[in-house]
Amino acid sequence: MRIAALLYYRCVSNASNLCRHASIRIVTRPTKITDRALDVGIIVFGVVTLLLVYAFFNRVGSPRPDATRVFNPDGLLGDIIQVEVRNGNGVSGLARRMTTFLRSYGFDVVEQGDHTSFDQEETIIFDRIGNLDAAKQVALALGIPVIEVQQDIRSDYYLDVSVIIGMDYKSVMPFLEDEP
């Protein structure tokens, strides 16, 4: 039962315009299903609104990687940063998963596969054409500090960035969800 209090004031006009009499009457009425549905609707609307506000501020406040090539010293085709992904630790399927992750951010992963050895300790990002900004965008997408990007210019590679997945792969963005 929902209780609503109704206040009735009866004022008598006198020199000071004060109310001489006030009465309170309690009115009860049965709760309707539509009232409950309305309450639930208001709560759901509030939760959805809060989630949208959170998503907006999270999107605006967090830097997002940009897969567009700004600088192209070797004259590579296209405007999208081209990346190669190499598995340097021997755990099966990591290069494929990282490729899928980078493509979801708009990067053009042109090659994936195993590195020449499986003893890579840390995940490394190499700038291959002298465009550190492109390598830093890949580092941003993977959650790797941009100060760890290295330059190893190889004009015969025909790509912007190489990523070699190391033994620390669980600390890199696409694999963080694997932690229990």
Fold held by 82-178: Alpha-Beta Plaits (3.30.70)
Return the pLDDT at 11.
45
Return the pLDDT at 64.
63
What residues does each domain of the chain span? 2-61, 82-178
Give the span between the Cα atoms of 1 and 31, in whole angstroms.
Answer: 5
> What confidence tens digit (pLDDT) does each residue in 113-132 have?
999 999 999 999 999 988 89
* Residue bearing the bigger pLDDT, 67 or 43: 43
Return the pLDDT at 17.
47
- Whether residue 148 contacts residue 110, with contact meaning beta carbons closer than 8 Å, is answered with no
- Whether residue 1 contacts residue 28, with contact meaning beta carbons closer than 8 Å, is answered with yes
SS3 readout for the chain:
CEEEEEEEEECCCCCCCCCCEEEEEEEEECCCHHHHHHHHHHHHHHHHHHHHHHHHHHHHHCCCCCCECCCCCCCCCCCECEEEEEECCCCCCHHHHHHHHHHHCCCEEEEEEECCCCCCCCCEEEECCCCHHHHHHHHHHHCCCHHHCEECCCHHHCCCEEEEECCCHHHCHHHHHHCC
Give the span between the Cα atoms of 61 and 51, in whole angstroms.
Answer: 15
pLDDT at 150 over 80: yes
